[in-house]
Amino acid sequence: MAAIVLYCIIPFYWMIVSSLRLPTMGRDTSFIPNPASTANYAAVFGPQNNFGRSLVNSLIVSGTTTIVTLLFGIVAAYALARLNFRGKGGVLWLIMACSMFPIVVLLPPLLKMFSSTEPFTWFPYWINTYQSVIIPGLSFGLPLAVWNLTAFFKQLPVELEQAAMVDGCTPGVAFRKVILPLAAPGVFTTAIIVFIGSWNEFLLALTFLQDPSKQTATVAISKFTGSSGFDTPYGTIMAAGVIVTVPLLLAVLIFQRRIVAGLTAGGVK
């Protein structure tokens, strides 16, 4: 376990150390920055990088993708877990099959569609729009959400809804006030996975968000240049990597507390 933890932590530690070196010491190999400097963090938010706007774009894309995925995923998963109809297993496997296509295979047809070129002249022009990244992102996040939440809803006894309906609740009210609070651990776990996947997404944003004002943080980092335009600003890139990683760590910590609270409440009930 110690070896695995070190294997996971050392790259992140190296990123922090590299970000705290002087900009002229980008290739230094010491494990402790000497002297320590925050000049790289100031350079990240320089006007030439437009990194602040890129962070806002990433938050818009990731947040919208997560919210829409949960809205559709919760309803679909609950229907698959509770309703009995012919071919239900096939529907679930078909939903999962939609996420099996590599993103590289989908990029050429999506690019032609979003560019309104033949044979998709009827489709609206979506290049440099948020929906060009959010909608394809749903095709990967939604199957995962439906699969995880379906298994979670199946573990909840159906007698809970029946007891609520005996007390006068409609099926919708029973789902909203009884089942959904108990499903909070699964919902928050799914939200974490979908948000992290959307936040780290690169190929879709690189292809469809060509306008610098619409680019996400991952794309902006890949386009960082040095003072001459040819040198690689290693320290600035490492500092931007730390800034991009911090929101993910905070999200995991916040949601982990809610997951533990939801599991404890479910156990007490």
pTM value is 0.85
Q: d(Cα 88, Cα 77) in Å, to the nearest integer?
A: 11
Count helices and strands (H / E) in the chain.
Answer: 13, 0
Q: In the predicted model, what is the mean pLDDT of the chain?
A: 84
Task: Give Cα separations from 38 to 33, 43, 115, 197, 223 (angstroms).
Answer: 11, 9, 42, 29, 21
Mean pLDDT by 10 residues, the chain (269 residues): 90 89 79 84 85 93 94 91 82 82 87 89 92 90 87 83 84 84 83 89 92 91 69 84 85 68 45
For residue 166, what are the contacts with CB-CB under 8 A and spacing of at least 6? none
Token representation of residue 261: 């609270």
Q: Tens digit of pLDDT for each residue in 161-200?
A: 888 888 888 888 888 888 888 888 888 888 888 988 899 9
